[in-house]
Structure 1
């Protein structure tokens, strides 16, 4: 799998353009805004977009979803239905975060734990990882040893849990029991900031490192 991280909006959250180099079919993961920048990236890489994938329902990660999906005439996949209330409340989120107005939408497919998503000949394994939001998912592509984690885990930090229906213990459990069962050398692509690896976070992340849990 090829991946290009595209920071979007003044919040500089990471939208990922992912694609299968064998077929040049691809997807945007978490198109939060700056749609023209996303179109340029797909064009420059000669990628044919076949779907949009969402890790969770927060506005800064879904703000351009409707526009981008319409532009390419492609379906929207994810997140888990636990985040339906976030997508239903996008107008209120727009006001809260002072983003351009966003209309509610529903994806073409909700995701569940252990689902798979195809992108070209790639297969993404879905991990339901609640805590930051109740419907948050992570996307594992095993051939490239890559996991896209949205706002679950960051380099040296973890996602916030002070939003509605956030749950700190659920987040810790999602990271420890799901993400940290992945290979240490797997590259972690978070929704904000730089990449890391599972092994680095297990050793050094002050919130969830193995040393904190005995």
Structure 2
């Protein structure tokens, strides 16, 4: 399995393309992802959204016009809120996302893709709908805006909570070991062990 980080959208979001042979699994979306898929002649077969702040699904409406049947994995809160600007923070560009292909996930969900079983962990705090995805073959967590290199997600948005965010990060650290790679929604890739040692925002519980 190969992994490509595609930097895209209006505020430089890390979108991820996992691919094997000609099939691709996407984590979050921006228009630049479609360019990469076309350049590599990849067929997207599933999309996992970490949360519904607009920068993590910019251009999704157009993408779903091209791939209307692609399963989109998202929390129930995300599915319910993706067309509500108060949750997406998109007050400038009206849009409507068709959610017919959306599949709600929670802590008990396992996403199967090409023989890979991906675990889901709900991690509210930065947003009410945040989830992370653990891919065992890569020993990696795709963590959206829950935790970053030497930082954590903002909690000054509607539905955000610093206390809940800290609890969610503690849950990630309790479930996965220090060697687990963290692929965040913005900024450099890091690891659980590195953040335990150097992230001043989380020292109170590590």
Assess same fold via TM > 0.5: yes
Say how many residue pairs are matched.
Answer: 204
Q: Structure 1 residue 27: deviation in Å?
A: 1.9
Are residues 192 and 156 of structure 1, via their aligned partners in 2, closer, same or farther at CA, if it must alter by over 3 Å? same
- Cα separation, 1, equivalents of 2:178 and 2:40: 29
Q: Secondary structure at the match of 2:82?
A: helix
1:139 pairs with 2:133: yes
CA contact (8 A) 1:4 1:16 kept: yes
Q: Structure 1 residue 111: deviation in Å?
A: 0.9
Which of residues 81, 90, 98 in structure 2 aligns to 1:94? Answer: 90
Q: Which runs of 5+ in 1 are unaligned?
A: none
- Cα separation, 2, equivalents of 1:85 and 1:51: 19
- Comparing 155-164 and 72-81, the one that deviates more: 72-81
Q: Secondary structure at the match of 1:4?
A: strand
Deviation >4 Å, runs of 4+: none
Which residue number in structure 1 is paired with residue 188 of structure 2? 194
- Cα separation, 1, equivalents of 2:78 and 2:45: 23
Q: Structure 1 residue 159: deviation in Å?
A: 0.5
- Comparing 119-128 and 65-74, the one that deviates more: 65-74
Q: Secondary structure at the match of 1:110?
A: strand
Q: Structure 1 residue 178: deviation in Å?
A: 2.4
- In the TM superposition, 1:169-184 aligns within 5 A as 169-184=163-178
CA contact (8 A) 1:69 1:76 kept: no
- Which digits, 9 at most, give the CA deviation of each residue in 1:173-202, with x for residues without a partner? 111122443121111110001100111011
Q: Secondary structure at the match of 1:175?
A: helix
TM-score by length of 1: 0.86
- Cα separation, 1, equivalents of 2:171 and 2:161: 15
TM-score by length of 2: 0.89
Are residues 137 and 180 of structure 1, via their aligned partners in 2, closer, same or farther at CA, if it must alter by over 3 Å? same
RMSD over aligned Cα, in angstroms? 2.1
- Cα separation, 2, equivalents of 1:177 and 1:94: 29
- Cα separation, 2, equivalents of 1:80 and 1:7: 23
Q: Secondary structure at the match of 2:128?
A: coil
- Which digits, 9 at most, give the CA deviation of each residue in 1:144-191, with x for residues without a partner? 111100000000000011111111111101111224431211111100
Q: Structure 1 residue 84: deviation in Å?
A: 4.2
Which of residues 25, 28, 31 in structure 2 aligns to 1:30? Answer: 28
- Cα separation, 1, equivalents of 2:39 and 2:180: 27
Q: Secondary structure at the match of 1:109?
A: strand
